[in-house]
Amino acid sequence: MNSQGASVLSLAEDIFEQAKAIINYYQANNLAIPTFSLQSSDPPTTPEYQSLQNALRTSIEDTQRLVEGPRKFLRSFAAQVYDLASFRIALDFELFTIIPAEGEISLKELADRAGLDLDRVSRVVRMLITFRFFEEKTPGFISHSSSSIVLLKDEELRCTVHYTLDELLKAAADSNISLKSTPFEADNQNCPFKTRHGLGIFEWYNANPYNASRFARAMAGATRSKLFYGLIFKVLSYVAQWIVTSTNYVGGGSGHISMTLAKLFPHLKFVVQDQDEMLIEGQKLISDEVRDRVFFQRHTFFDQQPFKDAAAFLIRQCTHNWCDRDVVTIFKSMVPGLESSKPGTPFLINDIIMPEPGIWTRLAEREVRQIDIVMLVGFRAKQRTRAEFLALLTEADPRYEIRNVYETGPLGLLEVYLRQ
């Protein structure tokens, strides 16, 4: 049935069938069915499970919309500002890490240790309890819930939520000011982040090492995706068969991807190029297992690529930070590196490849469009479709060709070569 003809009852029937399919998946794969207990494990991340999950979430969302109607929806949609304010306070005052993994803490002790008065700590915590973050099983005593404990245990996820609710939320709030002041300019000097913080995002991180370190940890966690490793693995396995040399990773951040890939490909070396702050973070993360095969090099991708004879060049989640004009420069700067490597050296672009509207399911499309708007707020940049990538590559050098596109998941991969 198309969504216009959906009724609450037909949607409820869909929900029942979709929930059964999810339970069948758990049973068929011998997995424990999720509960709200602290021991409950994360849902699977396989494409098959994600498609079942998406279908059920879409039906639940549609049912909720029909039942509450647009007026009530809009009220709670706009009130998310206050939900986020509570979350932000809880993160800034470290409530997620002060509350112990096991047992309870009194609100009084929580307030003392957080350095905030009892009244406001209690109100924030009780607000979050309405979202199943934390529990108050004994009046006045707080414990973790299955939702909040992940923010205690997973530091990278905590960093992701925190930097989003800190520097990015502030910038997002000023989007209108930024776009009204320069409605026809789109680059990182004319973006909401700069309007709010006075500097472009990377200059700001260079000037704010605490935030840069949090951002680097967030990147390491938020983008750790099995699907990504699957895609890169596929292409590097092919490359690694016949070249035993270095893979060059441009804008490689702290080098966490290279470190993981170095473990998967023990005969490959990796050169991670980035700005100072990210490389310092990388030196902290590197383990002895890969120390002799992952190297760091300070390099801006706007300058000509100095690395020669690479097995592959990889740029991951960088082009989305830059406007078209800058991406053309990045692609042009890569040419000397490709020309000084063996013919057929791939240039791998690992980023979201935006779908044309309406091709993906509604929730899957929303997820990548949210990231597209992050790029607008942070950089006045964008996520690009395959056709948009091709146009910029061709403008940079007409010899560029896209030979393969892997776009089975949210993070895609373009396999690009310089035609001989």
Ligand X SMILES: C[S@@+](CC[C@H](N)C(=O)[O-])C[C@H]1O[C@@H](n2cnc3c(N)ncnc32)[C@H](O)[C@@H]1O
Q: Is 187 left (phi over 0), alpha (psi -120 to 50) or beta?
A: beta
| Residue 282 sits in the site that holds ligand X (CB under 6 A) | no
Q: Is 69 left (phi over 0), alpha (psi -120 to 50) or beta?
A: left
Nearer to ligand X, 14 or 351 (CB): 351
Confirm if 281 and 213 have CB atoms less than 8 A apart: yes
| Residue 189 sits in the site that holds ligand X (CB under 6 A) | no
Burial group, residue 295, by CB count within 10 angstroms (0-12, 13-18, 19+): middle
| Residue 316 sits in the site that holds ligand X (CB under 6 A) | yes
144 carries an active-site annotation: no
| Residue 317 sits in the site that holds ligand X (CB under 6 A) | yes
Nearer to ligand X, 50 or 275 (CB): 275
Map tokens 């979202």 to a residue. 131
Sheet containing 141-143, strands listed edge to edge, beginning at the edge strand earlier in sequence: 105-106, 141-143, 135-138
| Residue 318 sits in the site that holds ligand X (CB under 6 A) | yes
Nearer to ligand X, 64 or 329 (CB): 329
* Short-list 161, 51, 42, CA closest to 409: 51
| Residue 307 sits in the site that holds ligand X (CB under 6 A) | no
Count of residues near ligand X by CB under 6 A: 17
Instruction: Strands of 278-344 (E only): list them.
Output: 294-298, 310-316
| Residue 219 sits in the site that holds ligand X (CB under 6 A) | yes
Q: Smallest gap, in angstroms, from Cβ of residue 256 to ligand X?
A: 7
Q: What amino acid is encoded at 95 in this protein?
A: L
Q: Is the dihedral of CA 387, 393, 397, 400 positive or negative?
A: negative
| Residue 63 sits in the site that holds ligand X (CB under 6 A) | no
**Closest residue by beta carbon to ligand X:** 253
| Residue 255 sits in the site that holds ligand X (CB under 6 A) | no
Nearer to ligand X, 149 or 272 (CB): 272
Among 240, 243, 278, 328, contact with ligand X (rule: CB under 6 A): 278
* Short-list 393, 389, 381, 394, CA closest to 406: 389
DSSP conformational letter for 133: S
* Stretch binding ligand X (CB under 6 A), from 76-84, 143-151, 247-255, 410-418: 247-255
| Residue 327 sits in the site that holds ligand X (CB under 6 A) | no
Q: Smallest gap, in angstroms, from Cβ of residue 311 to ligand X?
A: 18
Nearer to ligand X, 195 or 254 (CB): 254
Which residue ranges make up the site for ligand X (CB under 6 A)?
202, 219, 223, 251-253, 257, 274-275, 278, 300-302, 316-318, 321
Q: Which residues are catalytic?
A: 320
